[in-house]
Amino acid sequence: MSTLEQKALEYHRAGGAGKIATAVTKSVATQDDLALAYSPGVAVPCVEIQRDPALAYEYTAKGNLVAVITNGTAVLGLGNIGALAGKPVMEGKVVLFKKFAGIDSFDIEIDETDPDKLVEIIASLHPTFGGINLEDIKAPECFYIERKLRERLSIPVFHDDQHGTAIVVGSGLLNAVEMTGRDIAEIKIVCSGAGAAAIACLELILSLGARRENIFVCDSKGVLTTARELDGEKKAWARDTVATRLSEVIEGADVFLGLSGPGLLSQADVKKMGKQPIIFALANPEPELRPELVREVAPDAIIATGRSDYPNQINNALCFPYLFRAALDSGATTINQEMKIACVTALAGMARSDARFGKDYVVPGLLDPRLLSGVTPKIAQAAFRSGVARKDLDVEEYAARLVKLAETLI
């Protein structure tokens, strides 16, 4: 067992087992306190909420509470390890919500793989939460589950593996394209991977100005072509080409987007790409091609990975805390495309405004103290402008409030 593995086990076992606990937010020091917290006083807010359900956001923790839900079918790079084995990851997500945005959350691991049953279970939990973060649910079921929940519920439902990855990829790609003097409408993109994260990334990149005819997608069987029998989300990305392998379509590519597995990009492939290639090798923990190997054949490449030990880490924690913070505070009923694009442009702008901006800094760092107050208000504005939020927050006052919140976070 490696030193890292030993440290990880010790970390999760030390003190109280796991990474999270609950806290009481009101005084319960006296008999009067108890009479208000529970019987008989607790009946009063119950009656008020029955009369007006919106009052749950004033009298309960619902408005600052997010469910982190998985069935364990696609956990990190570990695959279908089951709901219980995925619990440490979900607890970690709870920690990130609290650390970066002051949002309370519960992790809920559900031992169910039938998509319709899973939808029913998750939908039945909606009275408890102000938002639902779906996590580590495999494709293609994840698309169906999120869509059905969004149709049924009037609280934000967000599959982070899809949209979180897409948002951070989008922000980094915008900066890389600008830095290399390219036009996003003209860039050729080759994507390795056709799962939930890959499809979401490609859809968002289209929203940023890329063109579908310039994008080639590969799955484990090769290039998605019209000659193959494809269904669902993959079918929309089929190209009319005789090419069957990644190495055949990467000639002259400006961008490689990897959301697949280790070793699926070679140095020979990189050599075929355009000048100053943009390579987002995001397979985790081992990328499609290690950055040092890319640099051997393309020293001027702009490279991003999902790892924290290389520059340009594409990490969902750069966006999901701020999306949910904005959604909860603005009373948004969903997280829509306008909010996602606002997050993309805010993250890209934050990186560009930093003195470190360059090929090794195309997205902000996870611990950038400006993120909460700099990104969140722009998302909240987009929510209100697009008609999904109940509250039009004063941007300056809201940003100032978030600066104070950031000072209190763990």
Instruction: Report the distance separating Cα 310 and Cα 267, nearest Å.
Output: 18
Of the listed 7, 11, 38, 221, which one is catalytic?
38
- For 70, phi then psi, to 5°, come to -145, 160
User: What tokens were used for 61?
Assistant: 């923790």
135 belongs to an annotated ligand binding site:
yes
284 belongs to an annotated ligand binding site:
yes
248 belongs to an annotated ligand binding site:
no
Query: Are 373 and 350 in contact, with CB atoms under 8 Å apart?
Result: no
Cα 52 off chain centre by: 33
User: What tokens were used for 171?
Assistant: 């922000």
327's CB contacts (< 8 A; 6+ apart) are 131, 156, 334, 335, 339, 379, 383, 389
Is 38 annotated as catalytic?
yes
User: What tokens were used for 75?
Assistant: 């956990």
32 belongs to an annotated ligand binding site:
no
- For 203, phi then psi, to 5°, come to -65, -40
User: What tokens were used for 161?
Assistant: 């593996």
Torsion of CA 146, 160, 170, 247, to 10 degrees: -80
* Nearest by Cα to 72 from 121, 107, 123, 120: 107
Task: Strands of 126-239 (E only): list them.
Answer: 131-134, 157-159, 189-192, 215-219, 222-223
286: three-class secondary structure by DSSP: coil
The 3-state secondary structure of 60-113, one letter per residue: CHHHHEEEEEECCCCECCCECCCCCCCHHHHHHHHHHHHHHHCCEEEEEECCCC
Instruction: Report the distance separating Cα 389 and Cα 245, nearest Å.
Output: 45
Of the listed 19, 57, 87, 93, which one is catalytic?
93
The annotated binding site is made up of 135-136, 161, 284, 315
Which parts are annotated binding residues for a divalent metal cation?
Answer: 135-136, 161
What are the residue numbers of the active site? 38, 93
- Summarize the annotated binding site for (S)-malate as residue ranges: 284, 315
